[in-house]
């Protein structure tokens, strides 16, 4: 049987000139990362920003029970179009989960990680989490296993996580001061007892720190997720960042509170607002130099499937999966070979782009929103984008600093004015939009809002396109002229 034909995405390489660099097959490991760590993160879309352009995760919703209550959570509410942790369309038994993972692995060659992120707590609902992982290790041994937990039951399962080769654990830590915690957690259930108030928050805090220390001691990479709740813990997250850095956290991911009245959460019902995109960025910028930040989180559903910015979960509901599925590794294997070549070329392009931006010596920064379908390229049409990746170009280089979710503006060849207004509002603070194609009308309306939209760099590597715009803006020579 011949190997299946796989490309990154048909549009991704449409204008690339083929493999011109000498880095084909390069692992493109960043210079500041040890080889053993790179091996663990290079295919994990959450732990490596670079990997998220190429690789996908899937969550299986096998763990519905939870041992605490967070004021931002209501697991009864479900909307298939919404992306928010704890939200799920159907809960699965471990057997159903294994069937679904195999079906997805056969269809989504980018799949590299299986995560259990609820819809309750993966460590509290431990038997289902463990049963699922044990079966998957036998079926698809190279799939990375990952869990997300509130941390209360985590210390009880660290040894088993180690035994199952789970390399990646996320703990949600919203406070290190129980007084702050009492405003986030009304109760916890611990050792057959219910605790409330400051006492509940103190126990949770101690268990979270113990779990983190145990994972660090065993070399398991631990990411800390924190929900930024304005007026409750926003300033306090600076302290949280220090604590988790001292205890060996690999990444700190600060996520905006999602709070709407219709979600029925305590915060939603009491009018607690979430932060604006620029408030989140300002806090993240203040943490520069602390625990390394993750800035590309998409706040996934507990049944998400696919690249981080492109949830395909609705294509893989149980009703769409046949009763008998057998794993076929050929598509995933072929895809990995393509990615190895592509990421080597991208590393060269990124390094050249960074040099160009630094050489401009302007001292200015530019916030650029990019429409991308993956592969690290400017390859989505403005009207088709459901999110924009936000990059900052500054004398320090070019970095991904977040994303903005939008409603798709163009459906079936025409766009709604009201939708466009929402897109423009979501792009607040952005200087330039880069996309593969944009019409005159949205371009003009963006210009009216002070945002320049360009489709001159369609299908380029993202960093190459940004550096060319930056150089043109601030007076340095464009990349082509320096080659």
Residue 118 interaction partner, one of ligand CLF, ligand SF4, none, beta carbon < 5-8 Å per kind? ligand SF4
Among 48, 170, 174, 265, interactor with ligand CLF by CB under 6 A: 170
Cβ-contact 65, 124 below 8 angstroms: yes
State in angstroms the smallest separation of the CB of 325 from ligand SF4.
29
Cβ-contact 143, 111 below 8 angstroms: yes
Question: What is the spatial distance between Cα 175 and Cα 185, in angstroms, rounded to a whole number?
Answer: 10
**146 vs 161 by CB, closer to ligand CLF:** 146
State yes or no: residue 66 binds ligand SF4 (CB under 6 A).
yes
State in angstroms the smallest separation of the CB of 430 from ligand CLF.
21
**70 vs 232 by CB, closer to ligand SF4:** 70
**98 vs 255 by CB, closer to ligand SF4:** 255
Residue 272 interaction partner, one of ligand CLF, ligand SF4, none, beta carbon < 5-8 Å per kind? none
Among 41, 56, 58, 70, interactor with ligand SF4 by CB under 6 A: 70
* Residue of 252, 256, 309 whose CA lies nearest to 281: 256
Among 308, 430, 432, 465, interactor with ligand CLF by CB under 6 A: 308
* Residue of 371, 337, 332 whose CA lies nearest to 19: 337
**266 vs 336 by CB, closer to ligand SF4:** 266
Among 110, 129, 132, 150, interactor with ligand SF4 by CB under 6 A: 150
Binding-site string for ligand CLF from residue 323 to residue 362, where x marks contact by CB under 6 A and - marks none: ----------------------------------------
**305 vs 410 by CB, closer to ligand CLF:** 305
Question: What is the spatial distance between Cα 168 and Cα 148, in angstroms, rounded to a whole number?
Answer: 9
Q: Segment near ligand CLF (CB under 6 A), from 68-76, 298-306, 409-417, 469-477? A: 298-306
* Residue of 86, 104, 128, 126 whose CA lies nearest to 302: 86
Among 8, 51, 62, 68, interactor with ligand SF4 by CB under 6 A: 68
Cβ-contact 70, 184 below 8 angstroms: yes
Token pair of 241 as six digits: 């960042």
**66 vs 339 by CB, closer to ligand SF4:** 66
146 sits in which H/E element: strand 144-149
Alpha helices in 218-247 (DSSP H): 237-246
State yes or no: residue 129 binds ligand SF4 (CB under 6 A).
no
Cβ-contact 66, 150 below 8 angstroms: yes
Question: What is the spatial distance between Cα 230 and Cα 302, in angstroms, rounded to a whole number?
Answer: 25
Token pair of 364 as six digits: 């200015």
**85 vs 402 by CB, closer to ligand CLF:** 85
Give the Cβ contact number of residue 11 at 10 Å. Answer: 18
State yes or no: residue 253 binds ligand CLF (CB under 6 A).
yes
State in angstroms the smallest separation of the CB of 80 from ligand CLF.
17
Among 42, 57, 86, 433, interactor with ligand SF4 by CB under 6 A: 86
Residue 404 interaction partner, one of ligand CLF, ligand SF4, none, beta carbon < 5-8 Å per kind? none
Residues numbered 92 to 121 that lie near ligand SF4 (CB under 6 A) are: 118, 120-121
Question: What is the spatial distance between Cα 116 and Cα 302, in angstroms, rounded to a whole number?
Answer: 7
Residues numbered 45 to 84 that lie near ligand CLF (CB under 6 A) are: 46, 57, 59
State yes or no: residue 300 binds ligand CLF (CB under 6 A).
yes
Residues numbered 111 to 150 that lie near ligand CLF (CB under 6 A) are: 113, 115, 117, 146, 148
Cβ-contact 274, 316 below 8 angstroms: no
Cβ-contact 344, 336 below 8 angstroms: no
By CB under 6 A, the count of residues binding ligand SF4 is 10
Residue 73 interaction partner, one of ligand SF4, ligand CLF, none, beta carbon < 5-8 Å per kind? ligand SF4
Sheet containing 397-405: give its strands across.
397-405, 387-394, 366-370, 432-434, 452-454
Cβ-contact 84, 78 below 8 angstroms: no
Token pair of 422 as six digits: 């929402």
Residue 121 interaction partner, one of ligand CLF, ligand SF4, none, beta carbon < 5-8 Å per kind? ligand SF4
Among 259, 299, 394, 468, interactor with ligand CLF by CB under 6 A: 299
State in angstroms the smallest separation of the CB of 400 from ligand SF4.
26
Question: What is the spatial distance between Cα 141 and Cα 444, in angstroms, rounded to a whole number?
Answer: 52
Cβ-contact 90, 315 below 8 angstroms: no
Q: Is 34 exposed, middle or buried (0-12, 13-18, 19+ CB in 10 A)?
A: exposed
Cβ-contact 406, 423 below 8 angstroms: yes
Cβ-contact 369, 427 below 8 angstroms: yes
Q: Using CB atoms, what's the residue nearest to ligand SF4?
A: 73
State yes or no: residue 63 binds ligand SF4 (CB under 6 A).
no
Binding site for ligand CLF (CB under 6 A): 46, 57, 59, 85, 113, 115, 117, 146, 148, 168, 170, 223, 253, 297-300, 308
Residues that bind ligand SF4 (CB under 6 A): 66, 68-70, 73, 86, 118, 120-121, 150
């Amino acid at each position: 049987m011949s190997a299946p034909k796989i490309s990154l995405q048909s549009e991704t390489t449409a204008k690339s000139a083929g493999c011109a660099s000498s880095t084909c097959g390069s692992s493109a490991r960043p210079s500041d990362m040890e080889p053993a760590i790179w091996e663990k993160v290079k295919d994990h879309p959450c732990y490596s920003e670079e990997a998220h352009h190429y690789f996908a995760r899937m969550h299986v919703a096998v763990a519905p029970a939870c041992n605490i209550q967070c004021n931002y959570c209501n697991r009864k509410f479900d909307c298939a179009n919404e992306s928010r942790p704890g939200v799920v369309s159907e809960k699965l038994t471990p057997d159903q989960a294994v069937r679904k993972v195999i079906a997805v692995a056969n269809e989504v060659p980018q799949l590299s990680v299986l995560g259990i992120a609820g819809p309750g707590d993966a460590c509290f609902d431990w038997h289902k989490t463990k049963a699922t992982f044990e079966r998957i290790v036998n079926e698809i041994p190279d799939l990375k296993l990952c869990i997300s937990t509130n941390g209360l039951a985590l210390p009880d399962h660290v040894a088993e996580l180690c035994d199952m080769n789970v390399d990646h654990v996320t703990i949600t830590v919203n406070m290190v001061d129980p007084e702050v915690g009492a405003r986030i957690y009304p109760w916890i259930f611990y050792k057959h007892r219910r605790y409330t108030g400051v006492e509940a928050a103190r126990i949770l805090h101690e268990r979270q720190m113990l779990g983190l220390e145990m994972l660090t001691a065993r070399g398991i990479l631990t990411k800390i997720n924190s929900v930024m709740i304005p007026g409750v813990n926003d300033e306090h997250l600076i302290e949280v960042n220090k604590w988790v850095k001292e205890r060996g956290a690999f990444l700190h991911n600060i996520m905006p509170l999602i709070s709407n009245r219709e979600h029925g959460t305590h915060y939603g019902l009491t009018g607690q607002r979430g932060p604006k995109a620029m408030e989140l960025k300002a806090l993240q910028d203040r943490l520069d130099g602390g625990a390394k930040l993750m800035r590309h989180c998409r706040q996934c559903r507990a049944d998400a499937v696919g690249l981080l910015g492109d949830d395909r979960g609705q294509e893989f509901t149980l009703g769409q999966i046949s009763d008998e599925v057998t794993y076929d590794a050929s598509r995933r294997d072929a895809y990995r070979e393509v990615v190895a070549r592509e990421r080597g070329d991208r590393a060269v392009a990124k390094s050249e782009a960074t040099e160009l931006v630094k050489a401009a010596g302007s001292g200015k920064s530019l916030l650029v929103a990019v429409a991308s379908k993956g592969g690290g390229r400017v390859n989505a049409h403005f009207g088709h984008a459901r999110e924009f990746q936000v990059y900052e170009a500054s004398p320090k280089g070019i970095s991904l600093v977040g994303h903005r979710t939008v409603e798709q503006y163009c459906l079936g060849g025409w766009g709604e004015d009201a939708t466009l207004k929402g897109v423009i509002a979501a792009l607040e603070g952005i200087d330039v939009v880069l996309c593969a194609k944009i019409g005159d009308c949205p371009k003009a309306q963006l210009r009216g809002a002070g945002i320049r939209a360009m489709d001159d760099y369609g299908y380029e590597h993202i960093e190459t396109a940004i550096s060319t715009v930056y150089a043109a803006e601030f007076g340095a020579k464009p990349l082509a002229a320096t080659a």
